[in-house]
Amino acid sequence: MKKLSSLLKKLDNNLVHFSLLAYIVLTSLFPKFPLQHVEYTYIRIRFDDLLPVIVGLIFLVQLVRKKVRLNTRFLIPVLLFWTAVFVSFVYGTYVQNTVVVTNIGLLHSLRRIQYMLIFFIASSIVVSEKRFLSYMKVYLGTLFVVCLYALGQKFFAFPSIQSMNPAYVDGRLLTLNPEDRLNSTFGGHFDLAAYLTFSMPIILGFFFFTKKKKYFLLFILSLIILLYTAARSSFVAYVVSISGFLLYLRKFKVYGLVLVLTAILLLVTGDMTKRFQQTFQIKTVFVNEQTGQENIDQKISVKKLPAGGYKIPGSRRSDVEADPDKIRQVALETALEEARRQGRTVNMLEIQKRADQISKFIKPQRTVLCDISCATRLQLEWPRAIGAFMFNPIVGTGPSSITEATDNDFLRALGEFGLLGTVMFGFLLLSITRYVLKAAKTAKNKLSFIHYGFTFGLLALLVNGLYVDVFEASKVAYNFWLIAGLYVGYISLGINHGKGKGNKRV
C-alpha cells in the first residue's frame, strides 16, 4: 500500500511533466482524424486539436493546487496580441459586418489562444537543464519517427490522412501514388515541410552541441523527406536558414558538405527539381480579342503542375502560327460556355454558327505563365488580403474574413488583424528571438549552438510564411510554440548563461 501511495504521489507531482511528454509525441505522430465538422467550411476539428486543451486543463488544476508555477515571461506581449485579435473580431463582426459567420470568426480567434497556450505550459515546466534536454530529445526522436513514416508512405504504401483537399477531409485512409507528395502524419505536404525546415537548424545545433553523428544522420533523413514533399517555399526557407546558420557559426566545412549532399539528393529524388522546373511554363494562350477571354493550350495531368492565368510581365509574344483546329476547338468551347451561362438550350448548328463568329477574334499568343499555385496567390489570395487591409488598416476585417487561407502569413495578418494585430505578433516573435539570442551570446558549454538553432529555425518559418500560412497550420503552430516555450523556460533558469552555476551536461 505504501508503494502504491508513493507511486501515486510521484505521478501527481509530475503529472504535467508526463502530459507534456505525451503532447510532444502525439502532436506530431497522431494522424489528423476528424472529430467534428465546422459548418460553412470544409474544416474539421480533429482529435489532435484536443491535446492542448487537455494538457492545459491538467496544468490549470496543478497550478491551482500549487504543484507547478506559471512562468509569466512574455505574458504581456501574448495578452496584447490576443487582445488585438479579439478587437479585430468584435469590430469586424458587429461594426464592419466583414466577419460573415460569427461562430467561424470566434473559432479562428480562439485558435490563436489554443496554439499559444502550450508556450506557457512548456516554459513553466522546465526546471533544469536535464529536463530541457530530455524534452528536446523526445522532440527530435518524434521527428525521426515522422520521417520514417513518410518513407513508409513513399515505398511501403503506408496510409495518408489529408486535410488540405476538401474531398479528403473526412478522414479517409489514402494510399499515395508515386507522383504524390509526402505528408507523413501531417495534414498536408506544406505542413510537414514547414515542420522539417523549422527543426533542421535545431538538429544541427544539437549535432554541434553533442558531437554525436546520429543528429547529422537525422538531418540528412529530414532533408530527404523535405525534398520528397516538393514544397518549394520550404526548400527556399531551408536554403536560407541553413546557409545563414552555418555561415554565421563559421562552420564552412559542414556547409560545403551540406551543399554537396543537397545537390546530390536533389538529383536522386527528382521531385523538388521537377516542381521548380514547372514554376514558369511557356504556353500558347488563345485570346479572344473581342472579350479578352483567354484559354491556355495545355493538358491537365496529375503528374504535372498546370499553368495558371498569370502572365509574367514582358514575356508576351504574338509571333505564333495559328492552328485552325485548335482555334475551332476553343471557339466551340466558348460558344457552349456562353449558352450554359445564359441558360439557353441550343442545337449543334447554332453552336457551330456562334463558334464561326467567335473564331474570327481568337488569336494565339506565346507567353510565359507561372504555375496555377503561384497564379492563385498573385491573382486572388494576395489581392484579397491587401484589399482587406486597405479597407481597415488599423484592425483589418477580422478573423476568417478572408476565407481559410491566404498563403502568405504576413498578408493574412494584415488583412485580418490590421497593423494592430500584425505589429503585436511581430513584436512577440522579435522579443522571443532577442531573448534567445542574448542567451546564446552568454551561453557556456557550447549551448549557444542549440540556441542559434532555434533562432534560425524561426527564420525558416518566417521565410516559409511568405508563401504559406505556417503559423495557422495546427501541427506546425503546436510544435513551434512548444519549442519556443521550452527554450524560454530553460533560459529563464539562468543555467549556463552567466547567471548561475551550470548543471552537468547530459
Cell representation of residue 91: 469590430
Q: Is 407 left (phi over 0), alpha (psi -120 to 50) or beta?
A: left
CA atoms of 208 and 215, how far apart (whole Å): 9
**DSSP β-ladder status, 44-46 and 280-288:** unpaired
- Residue 333: pLDDT band (50, 70, 90) is confident
Categorize the per-residue pLDDT at 353 as very low, low, confident or very high, splitting at 50, 70 and 90: confident
Q: Which amino acid is at 392?
A: N
What nine digits make up the cell of 324? Answer: 485552325
pTM of the complete model: 0.92
Phi, psi of 168 (to 5 degrees): -120, 10
DSSP 179-201: TSPP-TTSSSHHHHHHHHHHHHH
CB 142, CB 25: distance < 8 Å: yes
| Amino acid letter, 362 | I
Q: For residue 398, what is its C-alpha cell?
A: 477580422
Note whether 334 and 360 are within 8 A (CB). Answer: no
Q: Is residue 42 very low, low, confident or very high in pLDDT (cuts 50, 70, 90)?
A: low
Nearest to 373 by CA among 381, 363, 384: 381
**Which residues share a beta bridge with 204?**
none
CA-to-CA distance for 311 and 150, rounded, in angstroms?
A: 36
Least confident span in 70-84, 191-205, 287-301: 287-301
Predicted confidence (pLDDT) per residue in 69-107, tens digit = 999 999 999 999 999 999 999 999 999 999 988 988 999
Closest among 397, 503, 396, 360 to 445, alpha carbons compared: 503
pLDDT band at 241 (very low <50, low <70, confident <90, very high): very high
Q: Nearest 10 degrees: CA dihedral of 161, 164, 166, 172? A: 0
